[in-house]
Amino acid sequence: MTDNKRVSNKQILDEIKNQKVNITIDPMTETELNALSIKIVSRMVKLKSMEDWFDHVNRSDIAGSVAYQDLELTEEEEALGEAAKLMTLMNMFQEDEQYEKCAIIKGRMAQVNKILRKGNKNE
């Protein structure tokens, strides 16, 4: 179960049962249970509102341009990043048998490889 394959909840529960881990929890009073549930819900709401805010800010055009200005990537570094993204998408589309999308990505990969070859010649 330690490899990188997807694992179902049932497999996890079965593994826990196989390990024979005994966990005992002292019973909570109704008041303690209510206090705990209020804390949990409060934290979840705060996290959700923070996530929504972050997503909103992150999607703005200004956020994208400011975040990458400080990196000052070379053309070759940008091409490597693009190649990694395209390879990931290619694997996903191959698994889903979306071969039209694979063909589009293959064309873009040819452009990226051309940039990378040009960078290798300059070294």
Instruction: Spell out the long-range contacts of 111-119 with Cβ–Cβ below 8 A and sequence spacing 24 or more.
Output: 112/79, 112/82, 112/83, 112/86, 113/83, 115/75, 115/76, 115/79, 116/76, 116/79, 116/80, 116/83, 119/74, 119/75, 119/76, 119/79
pLDDT higher at 78 or 56:
78
Residue pointed to by tokens 């039209």? 100
pTM: 0.43
Q: Where are the domains of the chain?
A: 27-72, 73-121
pLDDT in tens, 66-92: 656 667 778 888 889 899 999 999 999
pLDDT at residue 34 in the model: 87
pLDDT at residue 14 in the model: 78
